[in-house]
Structure 1
Amino acid sequence: MSTDAPKLSPVEKIKQASNFLEGSIPEELAESTDHFNKDNLQLLKFHGTYQQDDRDVRAELKKTGGGKAYTMMIRCRIPGGRITSDQMLDQLNLCEELANSTLKITTRQTLQFHGVLKDNLRETINRINKAQLSTLAACGDVNRNVMCCPAKRNDGIRSEMVEMTDKLVVALAPQTSAYHELWLTDPETGEKSLEGGGEGDVIEPLYGPTYLPRKFKVGIALPDDNCIDIYTQDLGFLAVVRDGKIIGYNVSVGGGMGTTPSAKKTFPALAMRMAFCKPDQVVEVAKAVVGVQRDNGNRADRKVARLKYLVADWGIERFRAEVEKYFGEPLEDCTEDDVTEVDDHMGWQDQGDGKWSYGWNIENGRLYDNEKHQLKAALRAVCNEFKTNLRMTAHQSIIFCDIDEADKDKLIGLLKENNVPVTEETSTVRRWSMTCVALPTCGLAITESERRLPSIIDGLEEPLAKLGLAAERFTIRMTGCPNGCARPYNADLALVGKAKGKYTLFAGGGWLGDRLNYIYKDLVPDDIVVDELIGIFAAFKANRKDGESLGAFCTRVGGEDLAVMADAAPRP
């Protein structure tokens, strides 16, 4: 048997030589170039930023012999999507002053800036931190933004979940000082405290000098409110409630949406239920799972480096046994509690403390102002008037918290004054739709997504109404590539970019988030996508069983019969 050390992927070597994520980023920040080198691009992800180029502009530049129009995407880390009005106002100012004037609410309850020039990168990250936010570990091979149900309820349960979220954020955060030195220290006068690194278990006691083999995602949910899609997370904690108190959590491991169709060894996966842990065990169990992935995940091939592949290779029993070794004692089996419902928290909801929250649906999470809608202006107006706390949802929308009963009409009036649709005026199909960013800025995008789905929804609203399905709840998710940033593979219906102007159409998941869908049709041309979807709805209307959801119907009949039914069903 060979005793040679396993071959490392190029990214692993970059991390290993990076001096705990510093690399030569300081030198490149001081240079007048408009982009970073390939090694530093990998390290910058850990700091919360990706280099991109505007592919619309790229096409124009090529005509005149130019190169790429480089900019940076910057992502915040906002645990559970919780943010104050003042912090949101700061981010709105920042996107107008140093980014492309829009702000993106992500599918992980946080904010992204697009179009930041390299020269403005340090100032932008610095100002995000001055607002008491951070970008550290928003990207990269570490634990990313911890998701948690954003609903505000005076029931004690959600406050416990928020508290646990914050404990996990602290316990799983990188400890390197490189972030502080790069972005929060004056480059002219600041003294460096990180010279030559040190032992990995000193500077990074959890991660070590090479961090994790791949990104890692954590979420906390309730059985009757799986609004954060817990089974798509690497590590999920499903609260077990008895007599109004959380007695522990069912732990799930190995979720992940990304796949590469050309590499059959890759696949989307839903997390598997592993064990039950008590509240005081959560942090150490999380660290044990991270440790097992750190020491056993694939560092030679990033395509199969996520935790889901380790779980699939080992099986859940072996994986649990290894976690128990790292944890130091056996864990109990999961209770019978599992996901049963999803609430998107849109519209008015009683907080139980005499005040109300209002969930405002933001289509695809993009905040912008134009001649038709002024979403940023509306958000500014509400933040300035109420100075309330906000929470962002896993469906890219905003919840305004702590609104007095007497102020309900005032809040709705502020939104309407700025020509934005309120939740009550948003169709069900639009409300439950979601996209990734895709073109023109994402370097992985093959097709349109965020810019395309609204017009697809436009084409579906009237046919759905004619079919009597306008109030039917189902999820439609769209991504510009198979990496699955909008969690397409467990949606009722999904469109995933496969080739230029063509999509793979998936069917059979569900809004509950506990079932994967299947490929219904591949390489569907963009110009017939709406017709294909209408065919599915018509088949559903004509052949569904009582109380059957769209995803359950598609799963029951299967792809071949669904296609036959779609061809035969009368169209509206």
Structure 2
Amino acid sequence: MSTAPAATKPLVHNEGLKAASNFLRGNLAAEIADTSTGAITDDSGQLTKFHGLYLQDDRDLRLALKKAGKEKAFSFMLRIRLAGGRATPQQWLAIDALSDTTANGQLRITTRQTFQYHAVLKGSLKTLIRGLDAVQLDSIAACGDVNRNVMAPPLPERSPAHEEIYQASKSFSDYCLPKTRAYHEIWINDELVSGGQPEVEPMYGTTYLPRKFKTGFALPPSNDIDIFSQDLGFIAIVENGKVAGYNVTVGGGMGTSHGNAATFPRLADVIGFITPDRVNEVGSTVIMIQRDFGDRTDRKHARFKYTIADRGIAWFIDELQKRLGWKLSPARPFEFKTIEDPHGWHRTAGGEWFFGLHILSGRIKDIPGWPMRTALREIAQVLKGDFRLTPSQNVLIAGISDAQKPEIEAILAKHGLTKENDRSGLRLNALSCVALPTCGLALAESERALPGLLEKIEPLFAGVGLAAQPVSIRVTGCPNGCARPFLAEIGLVGKAPNKYAFYLGAKYDGTRLNKLVLPSITIDEAVAFLTPVIKRYASERQPGEYFGDFCHRVVLSELAAAAPATPAPTAPAAAS
């Protein structure tokens, strides 16, 4: 199927595995039925990703189990496919109940607007997936070398334009699903179908994509989905309250590898404007170009951003328009101003209410004095609207009428959830990935380190009268970039236990990457570096200047000037 030149290097193992998998079936059915182990083989572990599953183990328990001669504490992470992050109250209740019966009694909102379950034992997988299917949810294509969960502004009912964009995101998510019946055969029907017409994957082919592919829709002035981090993006252009079309972006991506200069984060390019009816046509054509030209010899170089970087944006536009048979129109003007979710109570253009609830790291659980999961369950039992998950790991309780608002307010107040929005501008803009103890790629802590990090940096801003200033801070356990750390004004990227690469200077609106300041420091060293910088920001910033812009204008410039004489930079001194 590929029209790319023959590879000069051998294909990576995953390519042969996908080709021989019989459209993602492999030996999964037999291995899932094997009760002698909680694990599956490495090859099957690669295939389960296409079904929305990752095999993991509790790394906190590894040493003790090894000493005891026991198998690792294996379990699975399951990610739901939930275009635009929208869930009905009935779906929420089912998702919540399944976390008790099949997982660890918690839910986690990801940075791609969906739910993840953790600690799902192999014997509970079918129960979980069938329970999701019963409320019209699935996990297919939530992971793997395919187009993954499609992101969109989380407030569809705020205006007709929001609803249009949500419907476009859902349509594109469904359009890009793998056509194989493997998911339903293995997890739902418990029966492998034979005979009949041979299966085909018209968009993906037998080897699918070289690597994962991410798509998002944005509505200016909010860049809440970080559109320039997406492989493929659609920026809505609204005229007279309706979506006139979309500016198309291509080639964004966050993942990199420490010490490997051939890998890097990249901002997407804006390549032109299309009308709404052409989203699926253009989007699928972009995906098929990556299918045909993406690097299948090196998975660290296999993302779409490298295809664009290697061949050039002019080549890509020419290839796209050649396949389409028509040219994109010139991109239309737009402006992003913020990434922050709305918190607290807001009335929509249609007269309904919604409540924006801050959830640090997206972790929904009950702890003493803070029963968030119970409160949200009670709300789901009476809510006549629905829930919207946000790209910043928060939840919006939407579609609330004037009559029902007091009821929802009472539940929030009873469980103390309203206080979650009375937070610093730093905390409200903080993101983290899961990292340890379950992610096999994590090099350092992330979610478990974030609260302590915030407690150390929040007083620095509060001490100079800037507690309310929005500042994006993001922490990841490795450089794969799941929490989009390279678009943070303050970014810490795990490098080793308690060691992080430290970045500063991204633009708050998500339109400029940050830069590496120190290659390997502890959290305390990062706080020590930031202390004089924050003081200088308070005294030297220009009117309306964001922290990332100040760091880019002043701090990074000073460090660059000092670089020849100072191989290991220290923070600029505080202003007297």
TM-score, length-normalised on structure 1?
0.95
From 70, 73, 80, give the equivalent of 2:77.
73
How far apart are the structure 1 equivalents of 2:57 and 2:413? 35
How far apart are the structure 2 equivalents of 1:564 and 1:122? 53
The answer (yes or no) to whether the contact 1:347–1:423 under 8 Å persists in 2 is no
Measured against aligned partners, the alpha-carbon deviations of 1:405-445 in whole angstroms (never above 9, x if no partner) come to: 35434323312322445343222211110100000000000
**Cα–Cα, structure 1 residues 197 and 513, in superposed 2: closer, same or farther, change >3 Å?**
farther
The answer (yes or no) to whether the contact 1:358–1:400 under 8 Å persists in 2 is yes
Structure 2 equivalent of residue 567 of structure 1: 573
> Is 1:118 matched up with 2:122?
yes
From 364, 369, 374, give the equivalent of 2:366.
369
> Is 1:145 matched up with 2:149?
yes
Give the stretch that moved more between structures: 538-547 or 259-268.
538-547
One-letter amino acid of the counterpart of residue 138, structure 1: A
Structure 2 equivalent of residue 260 of structure 1: 257
How far apart are the structure 2 equivalents of 1:437 and 1:389? 26
Map 1:9-28 → 2, pairs under 5 A = 9-28=12-31
How far apart are the structure 2 equivalents of 1:450 and 1:49? 20
From 463, 467, 470, give the equivalent of 1:470.
467
The answer (yes or no) to whether the contact 2:109–2:362 under 8 Å persists in 1 is yes
**Cα–Cα, structure 1 residues 278 and 6, in superposed 2: closer, same or farther, change >3 Å?**
farther
Q: Which runs of 5+ in 2 are unaligned?
A: 560-568
The answer (yes or no) to whether the contact 2:530–2:571 under 8 Å persists in 1 is no
Structure 2 equivalent of residue 212 of structure 1: 209
The answer (yes or no) to whether the contact 1:222–1:238 under 8 Å persists in 2 is yes
How far apart are the structure 1 equivalents of 2:72 and 2:573? 45
> Is 1:350 matched up with 2:353?
no
The answer (yes or no) to whether the contact 1:256–1:270 under 8 Å persists in 2 is yes
The answer (yes or no) to whether the contact 2:81–2:142 under 8 Å persists in 1 is yes
Give the stretch that moved more between structures: 277-286 or 64-73.
64-73
One-letter amino acid of the counterpart of residue 82, structure 1: R
The answer (yes or no) to whether the contact 2:444–2:497 under 8 Å persists in 1 is yes
One-letter amino acid of the counterpart of residue 482, structure 2: C
How far apart are the structure 2 equivalents of 1:19 and 1:79? 27
Structure 1 equivalent of residue 508 of structure 2: 511
TM-score, length-normalised on structure 2?
0.94
* 3-state SS, counterpart of residue 521 of structure 2: strand
Structure 1 equivalent of residue 93 of structure 2: 89
One-letter amino acid of the counterpart of residue 159, structure 1: E
One-letter amino acid of the counterpart of residue 573, structure 2: D
From 414, 426, 448, give the equivalent of 1:451.
448
Map 1:147-162 → 2, pairs under 5 A = 147-162=151-166
Q: Which runs of 5+ in 1 are unaligned?
A: none
> Is 1:184 matched up with 2:188?
yes
**Cα–Cα, structure 1 residues 62 and 372, in superposed 2: closer, same or farther, change >3 Å?**
farther
* 3-state SS, counterpart of residue 567 of structure 1: coil
The answer (yes or no) to whether the contact 1:346–1:423 under 8 Å persists in 2 is no
Map 1:100-111 → 2, pairs under 5 A = 100-111=104-115
From 233, 239, 244, give the equivalent of 2:241.
244
* 3-state SS, counterpart of residue 203 of structure 2: coil
Structure 1 equivalent of residue 266 of structure 2: 269
**Count of residue correspondences:** 562
Give the stretch that moved more between structures: 327-336 or 4-13.
4-13
Structure 2 equivalent of residue 7 of structure 1: 10
How far apart are the structure 1 equivalents of 2:359 and 2:158? 25
The answer (yes or no) to whether the contact 1:503–1:524 under 8 Å persists in 2 is yes
How far apart are the structure 2 equivalents of 1:88 and 1:569? 51
Map 1:315-394 → 2, pairs under 5 A = 315-394=312-391
How far apart are the structure 2 equivalents of 1:458 and 1:413? 29
The answer (yes or no) to whether the contact 1:415–1:422 under 8 Å persists in 2 is no
**Cα–Cα, structure 1 residues 364 and 336, in superposed 2: closer, same or farther, change >3 Å?**
same
How far apart are the structure 2 equivalents of 1:61 and 1:534? 42
Structure 1 equivalent of residue 530 of structure 2: 533
The answer (yes or no) to whether the contact 1:361–1:422 under 8 Å persists in 2 is no
From 399, 405, 408, give the equivalent of 1:408.
405
Measured against aligned partners, the alpha-carbon deviations of 1:369-422 in whole angstroms (never above 9, x if no partner) come to: 122321110111111132431100000011011112354343233123224453
How far apart are the structure 1 equivalents of 2:539 and 2:450? 26
> Is 1:38 matched up with 2:42?
yes
Measured against aligned partners, the alpha-carbon deviations of 1:226-261 in whole angstroms (never above 9, x if no partner) come to: 111111100000011222221111100001100002
